[in-house]
Amino acid sequence: MSSNQILAPKVEKPSDRAWWKSATVYQVYPASFCDHGSSGFGTIKGITSKVPYLKDLGVDILWLSPIYQSPLADMGYDISDYQALDKRYGTLDDWKELRDELHKRGMKLVMDLVVNHTSDEHAWFKESKSSIDNSKRDWYIWQPSKVNEKGEKKPPNNWKSIFGAGPAWEYDETTDQWYCHTFLKEQPDLNWENPTVRKAIWDMMHWWMKQGCDGFRMDVINFTSKAPGFPDAPIVDPSREYQPFGNLSINRPRVHDFLKEMYKEVLEQYDLFCVGECPGDEPVSAFAPYSIPSNKELQMVFHFHHQGFDRGRGGFGRTANFDWKLSDFKKVFNHWQVEMEKEGGWNSNYLENHDQPRTISRIASDHPEDRAKSAKLLSMFHCSLGGTIFIYQGQEWGLCNVPRSWGEEEYKDIETIQEIEGERQHRKKATGEANPDVSDVLKYMRQTARDNGRTPMQWDDSDNAGFSKGTPWMRVHDDYKEWNVSAQSKDDASVLAFWKKMLRIRKQYEALIYGIFVPIDEDNESTYAYVRDDKTKNEKLLVILNMARGTGRGEKSTFNIPKDIDVSKAKLLISNGSEAEGSSLASDVLDLEPFEGRIYLL
């Protein structure tokens, strides 16, 4: 197949209902998805073998987390060659086979674009590090030391790395300078102020488009600009030497300049799918410009505001608040659903991904008696939010957090390891104890750690859950005998069957994608309710979800439908309870069973 046959031309489509807005995107975390052999590590051929499963589920776009050549310091988000694949996953020919199997089913293949930083083993960084005079020295961010009153060399500022408790700088003895790494020291940040760096990135993107790639998910793309002069961050925790850098390296104005240039040099030349990952705590108005069509930047972004409702502290902390209120949860979603539309941007809706814990354990209940119903409730919630929907592997059949009995040694993620060890060292210094207690940190990890979303997919009840014929790189969840794709595929009442149905309903009733979002009874601590109103299609739906939680279990609730909502012609489209589909509303007072949800066509 020639590159001309592969390349998707740019096609002008109506901006209000472009193809990508109604798409169902499925994220694959390749290491944990499917190993076609016995390496214990997921492979591209393994992913290809599951394309029929994804098509049957209702997936339009497959997004692959990084599969590039990498030392895997951060599971592939440290790339040493953007145009080579890691041999653990397979070859470029394997990738092309996956591309073809998707394309012939009308599906698209999206790659992860990780260009805020590279691996420290990338050829660019090796050159940059070799000497101050090297031509690639300013491809990365280098600064001289600060010298304290004791004459000690210290980092250029007090910025804390995202991972661990240490600085966002690493000292290099050879050149007597520090390089910036907002994440691991093995992930040096690129200098986006250098136009030659940007040109190299555009060239790499064009190369992937010529291979038949259909778009990009852009990792922490709003980190790419730093505050001039690298000033110290405000001190938010006086007990610690290094502080979160916040807006000194997040959502800076220059990011928009960079993305407009990316659009002009790359994106507008193809019919692509593009979403940017954009952490930060600014209001909707700061994130909407990325996706406003006239700005010519991206189609949508991932924000993180809804990932903090149950966290014990802001930023990237993995502590947990187990007593969060439903009204706080609703406040975030309602605000973004309503305000993003007003701002003219477009929402991307995800509940889970490779960086987040499982929502059943987090929002509802993974108790054996609640789990299936909880998963179905969350499916109704997720699929009725306005914007493009993103499903993370395992979410569609009810995967939950790792067992509470697992010890510290089972956690493989570098962030978790550094979080625990960083806190251990901090407490050693503060208390003088040789081995301070960090059991509270581990308790938080069991609720919030990234490892919760990275256990291998459970395809059947055979050894290793059918994930691999070898020893898995990460332990398979203990419940795989009862909870797996094979068992659910044979059960019309399963979570998997419910998700398929919910995705079909979402495509059938476009009010769930494009309709105005109208919150109802926002202070209600038991029930989450809202109307989706699509005036273009003259279509209106009522969503009612009982999210009441007692001591970790669901509770019954009663919901009063407001008098100004006409339910005289209401018809039940779908429910995870006993109410018959197609039934009408006999009363405007609903008695809901624990974790029961209903969606009515009004």
Active site amino acids: 219, 277
Element (H, E) at 110: strand 108-113
User: Do residues 414 and 187 touch, judged by C-beta distance below 8 A?
Assistant: no
Q: DSSP secondary-structure letter at 483?
A: S
The residue ranges of DSSP E strands in 303-387, in sequence order, are: 348-350
| Burial call 432-456: b when 16+ CB within 10 Å, e when fewer | eeeeeebeebbebbbbbbbbbbbbb
User: Do residues 205 and 282 touch, judged by C-beta distance below 8 A?
Assistant: no
The Cβ of residue 526 has, within 10 Å, a number of other Cβ atoms equal to 17
Dmax (CA) of the chain: 79
CA-based angle 389:208:293, to the nearest 5? Answer: 45
Burial of 286 (0-12, 13-18, 19+ CB in 10 A): middle
| Cα separation, 479 vs 305, whole angstroms | 31
- What is the layout of strands, in order, in the sheet containing 61-64? 300-302, 273-277, 215-218, 108-113, 61-64, 24-28, 388-392, 348-350
Burial of 564 (0-12, 13-18, 19+ CB in 10 A): exposed
CA distances (Å), 567 to each of 34, 495, 533, 541, 571, in order? 46, 28, 14, 10, 9
Q: Is the dihedral of CA 250, 253, 259, 265 positive or negative?
A: negative
SS3 category, 521: coil
C-alpha 341, offset from chain centre: 21
| Cα separation, 87 vs 369, whole angstroms | 42
CA distances (Å), 263 to each of 266, 269, 295, 371, in order? 5, 8, 10, 43
Output the DSSP codes for 364-399.
S--STTTHHHHHHHHHHHHHTSSSEEEEETTGGGT-
